[in-house]
A and B are shown apart, each in its own frame.
Chain A
């Protein structure tokens, strides 16, 4: 059986698929988050050192994980679009960026609120938080560049180059910040070392990661549909959809 890899690479064929994926993963996200929060608040015990404040990790770690993961996925689609010159790949990359930036901000916000009771300050120059901050700037740069370019194809390709440079630089940034942090004897406790995870804490966190992941897929699919409608608004299928839609 020969697989037609490019069957869904046109907006027209992918549009309904994206809609179905959004529904399915949206529902899964609700379930996973409900389960994860139940585990996090009603099963996981109080932490010996941090009391109840550690319960922020059920959002902080999944958000941080998604922020990094989404950047790599964004760079992947951007690179694919650059290599194969497929419109949809570029649209996917553009669709991912705002959700990625959102999770980066959530990671920073919750990290700050977690750090306050733990170390007494609203901001800690912890290696991970600082890297997250730089990641936020990378996302903003990508979105700003695409917003500044009128021609969608040029915006896709320019954003792709930027995303690829960013993804290569991201490990370098992370390691240099980590090294800088240890050199300056900053926060001596890494946010991820505390607390020693009870199994139920870990379970709640993992389930929340899945919840955020499913949510990301749903949100990205919805945004991709918007982008497809915007860019392909002259096409026949978009017209049909608009006339049929509520």
Chain B
């Protein structure tokens, strides 16, 4: 079974590598959105430093949402998804593997780019660690919750926009805690409490979301 899951992950990674534009689009979207904010609110360094945590987090959230509909869509289109549903490996584990691959391709780049973008906002060096850690813990949660939305909207017209509407309210706690970690660190309190909360969210999401998404997949693929 581990071999099957490894197979799923490597397959998804290989497919993503072949269509590397997907990866780059998400990363570029992140960069552009973050760059738009100073253009909108003015270049005052003090203001930018204050809004940096929120802006970075919202941009990462939107960017990771961009690629969500693709988690299952390609496999659904060519019938691979039904094969996976009929296979011996529990669908929940397959979903978990796919989400992991999806995060590696769309979420991890955001985590890695974020310090560079934080420089645009003159974020103090000490906060870089909290930034990267909060995104590293938070973006997988976003991918996991988003997978549920992707499974529910599989094959529907207007799936992209509908997916955003479904999933954004569910993202609110992650955003609040994630951005809150950085703000707490900035104010001197230390972001440990929020980071631990994010870790807890990740564990709970990893434990439940794949199975909810699997149930949603069975509903969507009659």
Contact = CB atoms under 8 A, between A and B. Distances in A.
A/B: CB atoms within 8 Å of each other: yes
Contacts of A176: 172-173, 176-177
Given A138-B169, A141-B169, A144-B165, A165 B219 contact: no
B162 A148 contact: yes
A202 interface: no
Interface string A101-133: 000000000000000000000000000000000
Contacts of A134: 169, 172
A162 B166 contact: yes
A contact patch SS: helix
Contacts of B157: 148
A10 to B, nearest CB: 22
Nearest to A164: B212
B180 interface: yes
Contact of A161 (B165, B170, B183, B219): B219
Give the size category of A's interface with B: 20 to 34
B153 interface: yes
A183 B165 CA distance: 27
Contacts of B173: 169, 172-173, 176
A177 interface: yes
A135 B165 CA distance: 12
Contact of B165 (A141, A169, A179, A180): A141
A137 B219 contact: no
Interface string B199-222: 000000000000010011001101
A149 to B, nearest CB: 6
Nearest to B222: A154
Interface string B159-183: 1001001101110110011001001
Nearest to B149: A162
Contacts of B180: 179-180, 183
Contacts of A172: 173
A165 B148 contact: yes
A149 B216 CA distance: 13
Interface in B67-95: none
Contact of B170 (A144, A145, A166, A180): A166
B101 interface: no
Interface string A142-169: 0011001101001001100110011001
B40 interface: no
A145 B166 contact: yes
B3 interface: no
A239 B66 CA distance: 47
Contacts of B123: none
A148 B172 contact: no
6 contacts: A158-B152, A161-B148, A162-B152, A162-B166, A165-B170, A169-B173
Which 10 pairs between the two chains have the least Cβ-Cβ distance?
A176-B173, A137-B169, A157-B219, A141-B166, A176-B176, A180-B176, A148-B156, A134-B169, A158-B152, A172-B173
Interface of A: 134-135, 137-138, 140-141, 144-145, 148-149, 151, 154, 157-158, 161-162, 165-166, 169, 172-173, 176-177, 179-180, 183
Given A154-B220, A176-B177, A177-B176, 10 more contacts: A137-B168, A141-B166, A141-B169, A148-B156, A148-B159, A148-B162, A166-B169, A172-B173, A176-B172, A177-B172
